[in-house]
Amino acid sequence: MNKAFFIQRRINMRLGYIILYVADVSATVLFYEKAFGLTLHFVHESNSYAEMQTGETKLAFVDEAMIKESHSFRINRTKDEAAGIEIAFVVLNVEEAFNRAIKAGAIAVVKPIKKPWGQIVSYVRDNNGCLVEICSPVES
């Protein structure tokens, strides 16, 4: 098949969800509200699934017990090394957002630092041990 075949049949995709498997959906929602100022968008009556308002792409939490029935994965825990993935929140005042997250119980990983390209970045771990970047916009 030639290149034109693939170009003509390109699938339009958009990123709809980032989903974290967590031990306690309700506790995670509360943590993300306090630590990052997010707003709850939806929670299922079973409390096993919730979505946070984060713009076009939703941040969702699923009870890990539900997922274990269909496939295996490495659980996230604060006592274990963080998985090789992160959630990144872009803010104007990184230091203020970092301090808010720490005050709400996030675990400090890297305090705000300036990268060579001018962006300010910091890292924390959430109540499940997931890595969260708090950063400024990248200046173009």
Domains by residue range for the chain, with CATH: 3-135 (3.10.180.10)
| Alpha carbon of residue 124 to chain centroid | 11
Q: Which residue has the higher pLDDT, 67 or 91?
A: 91
pLDDT in tens, 69-107: 788 888 889 999 998 999 999 999 999 999 999 999 999
Alpha-carbon span 34 to 112, nearest angstrom: 19
Q: How far apart are CA 41 and CA 61, in angstroms?
A: 12
pTM of the model: 0.87
Instruction: Report residue 69 CA to chain centroid gap.
Output: 23
Is the separation of the CB atoms in 78 and 102 below 8 Å? no
Work out the end-to-end distance of the chain between its first and last CA atoms, rounded to an integer number of angstroms. Answer: 38
pLDDT of residue 70: 83
User: Cβ–Cβ contacts within 10 Å for residue 32, how many?
Assistant: 26
Q: How confident is the model at residue 14 (pLDDT cuts 50, 70, 90)?
A: confident
The whole-angstrom distance between residue 113's C-alpha and the CA centroid of its chain comes to 20
